Structure 1
Amino acid sequence: MKAVIQCGGKGTRLRPYTAVLPKPLMPIGSRPVLELLLKWLRRNGIREVFVTTGYLGHLIRSFCGNGEQWNLKIVYTEEIEPLGTIGPLTLVREHLDDTFLVLNGDVLTDLNLSQFAHFHRRQPGPVTIATAVRTIKMDFGVIEEVDNTVVEFREKPSLPHLVSMGLYCMDPEVFEFIPDGVPFGFDDLMLQMLENGTSVHVFKHHGLWLDIGRVEDFHRAQDVAWDDQSAAAEPKAA
């Protein structure tokens, strides 16, 4: 299976750090997040990777080269104008002729790709979303009402939500929904598919997932012992 890593974003949530480095090269311990991601892909049997670049893309290409240091083949694309989170896939459309993986360049996880791909292939529809549960603390008191009468009140509750991990299994049929040469986000893709009545499935992951584009996850990632044998070990002792 081939993988596409989306690395074209500006990383605005991590400014001012990303004014100097693109988000995929932000250090986790002594290694850039992109290096950890590429090693994780290789451990999971991926050999061919397409990296979409835009903002500070020359630094990503200089660091990763052709991928031979990780026994990978890396091919790059460059967005002249931003194409959103899904639009860049059209730049490598002709290479994606079978089930493929798409992931953001700021994701760290211990997801088992074989299980993910096997689940995807058993479902109808060209897209499966890897998901995790995140608990979001509300900043407000939450009111439940019936006919303008309060029936329940919760002060700043923490509410669980099933969220996208920024990691997807796709089939080439997905390109029927993605226009060429214009910005197109994953939200646009979902709206198109749902309006068309096309099934979209979720794979629920219960292990490690960090989105290092979020400041909290970036700091948490520094406390995880990353090694070459597994996606991550236990958090380091204080």
Structure 2
Amino acid sequence: MKIIVPMAGRGSRLRPHTLTVPKPLIPVAGQPIVHRLVKDIAKILNEPIEEVAFVLGDPAFFGDDVVESLTNLAEGLGAKASIYRQDQPLGTGHAIMSAKESLSGPAVIAYADTLIRADFVLDPEADSVIWTKKVANPEAFGVVKLNERNEIIELVEKPEAFVSDQAVIGIYYFKDVAVLKSKLQEVLDENLMHGGEYQINDGIKKMMAEGRIFKTGTVDEWMDCGNKAVTVETNTKMLHFLQSDGEEQMISDSVVLDNAQIIEPCVIGEGVVIMDSSVGPNVSIGNNCIIESSSVKNSLIQSHTTIKNANLDDAMVGNHVKYDGSFTKISIGDYSTLE
């Protein structure tokens, strides 16, 4: 089994946090988004992962540190890491074809901007499985249309009339991804574009036209990391899942508390010092941070950051930040100083 991860976008909706760090590497509940996503997919598949192929953008932004992080992620699963570059932002279909050397055999394609919780078995009769989430407002999403055998026969973008309540979340399984590769090559050859981009859906529609069987795999939770507000919300959800699972150590043994309390659930990294403060619930703090004379709840703080005299709630703070102030719902990018 292979996992293909297109992640060349800059994540502009999550600025300022993505000005220096690609969005898939922003930590949520103590781990980068893409790390959690790939690990969760591997857990669902429950079979050996042979290769994880990552499609990155400009090397000036997705540099050696990004490649090293992703290589460690793949190798931690016992898989080979393959790195590809999408030289132009020409859509999802173009991104996938940037990794065409890896497009063979069974594979999952997953876009690295969401997190999931799921527990289902891939249907062995299906040529492909499109992962979906039941939503209350399907008119706001791309949804699948099903026949009487619960097979997907059409993809419909933001339907005005009800089609189904199963929204496409951007994760796909292909029994042989080489079939998708051949259809996406046809899309490129025909210059079939929408809004100046080549889309994965056009390759999928060509597969459907040939009679390929598509089924749904429904996830229990689909958590967005598109902007600051939803990322903080996703962090809270993940912390509660981690607490319930009990599989990860959430608070490092090296945390120093001085007249301070931690209200769980929280993820707190190594070398963190908390003085005269209350932290939690629903807080993630990266390595080597100092929290002093502050109250922090429902917030995300990255690494090497100092927070003083703050009352933070629904906040997101980057790496190497120095913050001393009274604002509450802040969003501060890396290397900022507010004193």
Q: Is the 8 A contact 1:129 1:164 kept in 2?
A: yes
When you count helix as a share of all residues, which structure comes out higher?
Answer: 1
How far does residue 228 in structure 1 lie from its aligned partner after superposition?
8.4
Alpha-carbon spacing, 1:197–1:138, altered in 2? closer, same or farther (3 Å): closer
- 2:28 is the counterpart of 1:28: yes
Alpha-carbon spacing, 1:216–1:191, altered in 2? closer, same or farther (3 Å): farther
Aligned pair partner of 1:178 in 178, 181, 184: 184
Aligned pair partner of 1:207 in 220, 227, 230: 220
Aligned length: 208
SS at match of 2:89: coil
SS at match of 2:88: coil
- 2:19 is the counterpart of 1:19: yes
**Greater Cα offset, 99-108 or 208-217:** 208-217
Letter in 2 for 1:28: V
SS at match of 1:8: coil
SS at match of 2:18: helix
Please list, as runs of the form range in 1=range in 2, the aligned pairs for 1:142-153 lying within 5 A after superposition.
Answer: none
Q: Aligned residue for 1:86?
A: 93
Q: Is the 8 A contact 1:6 1:52 kept in 2?
A: yes
Q: Over residues 22-79 of structure 1, what are the superposed CA-to-partner deviations in whole Å (9 max), with x where a residue is unaligned?
A: 1101120322112212332444332420011115322421322353345332111011
Letter in 1 for 2:225: I
Letter in 1 for 2:57: G
How far does residue 175 in structure 1 lie from its aligned partner after superposition?
1.9
Higher relative contact order, chain-length normalized (CA < 8 Å, sep 6+)? 1
How far does residue 220 in structure 1 lie from its aligned partner after superposition?
2.0
Q: TM-score, normalised by structure 1?
A: 0.72
Letter in 2 for 1:188: D
Q: Which runs of 5+ in 1 are unaligned?
A: 140-159
Q: Is the 8 A contact 1:131 1:203 kept in 2?
A: yes
Q: Which runs of 4+ in 1 moved over 6 A?
A: none
Alpha-carbon spacing, 1:15–1:136, altered in 2? closer, same or farther (3 Å): farther
- 2:177 is the counterpart of 1:164: no
Within 2, Cα distance between the matches of 1:193 and 1:52? 23
Within 1, Cα distance between the matches of 2:35 and 2:246? 11
**Greater Cα offset, 206-215 or 21-30:** 206-215
% identity of equivalent residues: 21
Q: TM-score, normalised by structure 2?
A: 0.53
Q: Aligned residue for 1:150?
A: none
- 2:108 is the counterpart of 1:101: yes
Within 2, Cα distance between the matches of 1:5 and 1:228? 28
Within 2, Cα distance between the matches of 1:138 and 1:71? 41
Q: Is the 8 A contact 2:53 2:83 kept in 1?
A: yes
Alpha-carbon spacing, 1:212–1:87, altered in 2? closer, same or farther (3 Å): same
Please list, as runs of the form range in 1=range in 2, the aligned pairs for 1:1-238 lying within 5 A after superposition.
Answer: 1-43=1-43, 44-45=46-47, 46-55=49-58, 56-58=61-63, 59-66=65-72, 67-112=74-119, 115-116=121-122, 119=123, 121-123=124-126, 126-136=127-137, 161-170=165-174, 171=176, 172-179=178-185, 183-193=197-207, 196=209, 198-199=211-212, 201-213=214-226, 215-223=228-236, 224-225=238-239, 226=242, 229=247, 236=265
RMSD: 3.3
**Greater Cα offset, 182-191 or 204-213:** 182-191
SS at match of 2:9: coil
Q: Is the 8 A contact 2:169 2:222 kept in 1?
A: yes
SS at match of 2:35: helix
Q: Which runs of 5+ in 2 are unaligned?
A: 141-163, 192-196, 249-263, 266-280, 283-339
**Greater Cα offset, 173-182 or 99-108:** 173-182
